[in-house]
């Protein structure tokens, strides 16, 4: 599996079979390690485990598992715990692929019907929220900068970068960089999918 570094380059890590929650968590730690340290070795992944935002990812994965097992009430309790302990509100029903890296937890909100692909990097203060009952779909290898809001039934393509404090209310094509309020596309140094 490929993980994005903060230089918008990729590092790879071999895949092994594990139950889904463990596979997702391993990929989450690797993604974070790649983002912070530019590599996803075992030691670095362990270090990433201790960094801020990881507790929030773990609690979300647990809530998501409980939700899939039709234990909605227990899942809701875990979501509440996550919100109290880490300040992040991530709905148990949100579908988020492996390699989720939440770098800082403050005020992260991900609506329960949002769908995020693999290797999505989320900075602090990000909202991925609903508008008129519809939630966004984010592709793979997407970076969402600090304070950005992605709202409504829009599609954000693969390899997209969303700048700090951007408000994204329209579709963003693959590989694009979107900044500003409302977000506009710029020519940036994108990861290219």
Ligand X SMILES: CC(C)(COP(=O)(O)OP(=O)(O)OC[C@H]1O[C@@H](n2cnc3c(N)ncnc32)[C@H](O)[C@@H]1OP(=O)(O)O)[C@@H](O)C(=O)NCCC(=O)NCCS
| Pick 159 or 163: Cβ nearer ligand X | 163
Assess contact for 95 and 102: CB atoms under 8 A: no
Give least dist CB 57 to ligand X, A.
16
The strand pair at 2-4 and 10-12 is best described as antiparallel
**What residue has token string 């391993």?**
26
Give least dist CB 31 to ligand X, A.
15
177 lines the binding site for ligand X (CB under 6 A): yes
Q: HSE-up of 131 (CA within 13 Å, CB side)?
A: 14
Length of the chain: 193
Selected binder of ligand X within 87, 106, 129, 188 (CB under 6 A): 188
Selected binder of ligand X within 53, 117, 136, 145 (CB under 6 A): 145
Q: Which stretch binds ligand X (CB under 6 A): 23-31, 43-51, 105-113, 160-168?
A: 160-168
Helix (H), strand (E), coil (C) string for 145-175:
CCCCEEECCCEECCCCEECCCCEECCCECCC
Give CA–CA dist 28/72, Å, rounded.
24
Q: Which stretch binds ligand X (CB under 6 A): 9-17, 30-38, 108-116, 173-181?
A: 173-181
E strand or H helix at 112, and its extent?
none
146 lines the binding site for ligand X (CB under 6 A): yes
| Pick 123 or 158: Cβ nearer ligand X | 123
Q: Which residues of the shown chain bind ligand X in the complex (CB under 6 A)? A: 104, 123, 145-146, 161, 163-165, 177, 179-180, 186, 188-189
């Amino acid at each position: 599996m490929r993980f994005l570094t903060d230089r918008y380059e990729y590092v790879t890590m071999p895949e092994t079979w594990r139950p889904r929650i463990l596979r997702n968590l391993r990929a989450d730690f690797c993604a974070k390690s790649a983002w912070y340290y530019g590599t996803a070795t075992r030691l670095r992944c362990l270090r990433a485990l201790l960094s801020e935002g990881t507790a929030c990812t773990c609690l979300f994965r647990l809530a998501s598992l409980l939700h899939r097992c039709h234990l909605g009430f227990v899942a809701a309790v875990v979501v509440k715990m996550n919100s109290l302990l880490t300040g992040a509100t991530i709905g148990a029903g949100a579908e988020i692929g492996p390699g989720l890296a939440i770098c800082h937890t403050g005020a992260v909100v991900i609506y329960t019907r949002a769908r995020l692909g693999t290797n999505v990097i989320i900075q602090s203060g990000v909202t991925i929220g609903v508008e008129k009952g519809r939630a966004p779909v984010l592709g793979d290898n997407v970076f969402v900068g600090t304070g950005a809001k992605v709202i409504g039934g829009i599609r954000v393509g693969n390899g997209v970068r969303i700048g700090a404090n951007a408000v994204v209310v329209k579709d963003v094509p693959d590989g694009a960089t979107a900044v500003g309020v409302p977000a506009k596309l710029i020519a940036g140094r994108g990861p290219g999918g």
